[in-house]
Amino acid sequence: MKFPSIRIAILIGLALRILAAVFSPGYAMHDDHFVIEDGPFRWFLEDHGGWFDRDVPPGHSVVYPGIIYGILVACINVGITDPQTQMLVMRILHALLATLTIPLAAAIARRIGSEDSARAAAFLVAVFWILPFLSVRNLIEVVSITPLMAGVYLALRRANVRDVLLAGLAFALAFVFRYHTAVIPATMIVVLAWRKERRMALLFGLSFVLAICLTQGIVDLIVWGQFLVAPATYWMNFVTGSDAYANGPIYQYLLLIVGLLIPPTSLILLWCLFKDKRPALRYEVLLPILVFVLAHSLIANKQERFIIPVVPLLLVAVAVAWTDRTSQFPRTTTWMNIAWLWFWIVNSSLLGLFTFSYSKRSRVESLTYLERLPGVERVAVIAKPGVFVPWFYLGHKRTTLTVLTDTTSASWKDLPTLAPTHVVFYDVASRDALLRRVDSLTPGRLIQLTEIEPGLLDATLHWLNPRGNKNEVSVVYEVDGE
């Protein structure tokens, strides 16, 4: 297959990411809104929503939420106060940052392969089905990709001491966003030492550690009064298991990678990769990826997003191995062409679905509807336990309350005190019974205003796994006090 030039790949990748920024609003996962967006949202309150008044600082770095807060402040200063428009600005900025991974992918591929593999890597990273969708999310795993790729390229090039020092700085920036990315430079430092490049390994390690101290360390000292307290807290939570999620099997990420690369073509691509014996590809790119995946496989808490940082680097590796492969399948060329054709058919279909999907549409649009509706003062959302409400889209001017569908929850006692002017139901299965209960606790009758369906992607995921993907229809009511 003949791939387009790197410049064309960059333009295509940029176009896809801008399209995702415009046509794929909402949020994808819990952490790209409630870990990142919720902090800056509360910082606008008089007491910062109590965000900084903690006995123990949060394990996540305050750097990325601080950047989001700066973007929100800039939007407000130029007159952009609508939450949806503010999020559009953020998605576009994230799209521009993510586009930088495409030339970096080409540069890495060129270091370990040929010019043909550089074009293949750039194109694959540009159009890989999930990347435009993820690129516009406020996920620390996604934002860390660009500095991580820059660090890998500089470490591979290491033409001089400056390259190594800059590689340490780039990896430190990735670490500030996502601590787990430290596995990649740590593995590369060990590889350099093993290959008797001890001076480079030492400079690399020192620059990495020093850059972390000058970034994350100083920020924690200013904000929390303790040096590097956020990574230390994160590590303690991990060791004690206080932030544990559901366990997963040790082979979960292996199956996920095979699925992401679209089977059965993925099996062929991975076979080509593991058969490739070039030292730079095998030890300086593939080995760090393997250690990263293995480290996460040994942790009980397994979430799909955890391996996102190495997905573009893995795409570069398989593109190089496939494009520059020796004749490993001399008698099966037809089958290889069929497998490659299958890959592009499925990839294109998924690319179209995800790039134009409104993620968490029913939750976001119900609050956007109320944010733009006059007379909205106090809003209650009836939601299942474990479902978080994205209050950001309602703005700061309204009083809010989340009431759990569990009728024994103490949150029901606060409903009469709130005296809501509007009520939103995220749950539809038991809506009639809950309606009667809300009616009995509110000073007026409920009048339905609108019903908002989930987007196509949300509905599909909910159908495939209703337990893991809670994407219900949202129903908005007005409380008529007359």
Proportion of the chain above pLDDT 70, given as a percent: 94
**37 — pLDDT class (breaks 50, 70, 90):** low
Q: What is the pLDDT of residue 149?
A: 98
User: What six digits make up the tokens of 431?
Assistant: 């809506």
Q: What is the pLDDT of residue 302?
A: 84
- The overall average pLDDT reported for the chain is 90
Q: What's the confidence (pLDDT) of residue 377?
A: 94
Domain ranges in the chain are 6-355, 361-480
- Sequence-separated (6 or more) residues with CB below 8 Å from residue 205: 168, 189
Whether the per-residue pLDDT at 114 is higher than 60: the answer is: yes
Q: How do residues 317-326 score in pLDDT, each as one tens digit?
A: 999 999 987 5
pLDDT in the model for residue 455? 87
Inter-residue contact 418 to 378 (CB < 8 Å) = yes
Is the preceding peptide bond at 279 cis, omega within 30 degrees of 0? no
Cβ within 8 Å of residue 312, ≥6 positions away: 101, 105, 125, 128, 131, 145, 149
The pLDDT value given to residue 316: 98
* pLDDT over threshold 60, residue 330: no
pLDDT band at 328 (very low <50, low <70, confident <90, very high): low
What is the share, in percent, of the chain residues with pLDDT greater than 90? 70
What pLDDT shows up at residue 7?
98
- Asked if pLDDT for residue 329 goes beyond 80, the answer is no
User: What's residue 234's pLDDT?
Assistant: 87
Q: pLDDT of 353-364, one tens digit each?
A: 999 999 999 999
Tokens 């479902």 locate to 387
What was the pLDDT predicted at 462? 72
Residue 40's closest CA among 480, 391, 415?
Answer: 391
Task: Give the pLDDT mean for 130-135.
Answer: 97
d(CA 321, CA 325): 5
- pLDDT at position 443: 83
Distance CA 470, CA 473 (A): 10
Indicate if the pLDDT at residue 368 is higher than 90: yes
| pLDDT tens digit sequence for 216-255 | 999 999 999 999 999 999 888 765 554 555 577 899 999 9
Tell me the per-residue pLDDT of 450-473, one tens digit each, with 9 for 90 and over: 999 988 888 877 777 776 666 678
Amino acid (one-letter) located at 230: A
Whole-structure pTM value: 0.93
Q: State which H helix or E strand residue 175 sits in.
A: helix 161-177
pLDDT of residue 236: 80
Beta carbons of 73 and 59 less than 8 angstroms apart: no
pLDDT of 386-418, one tens digit each?
Answer: 888 999 999 888 999 999 988 888 899 999 999
Tell me what percent of the chain is helix, strand and coil, each rounded to the nearest 5.
65, 5, 30
Can you give the pLDDT at residue 123? 98
Q: How high is the pLDDT of residue 244? A: 52
Distance of CA 229 to the CA centre of its chain: 23
Which has more pLDDT, 246 or 122? 122
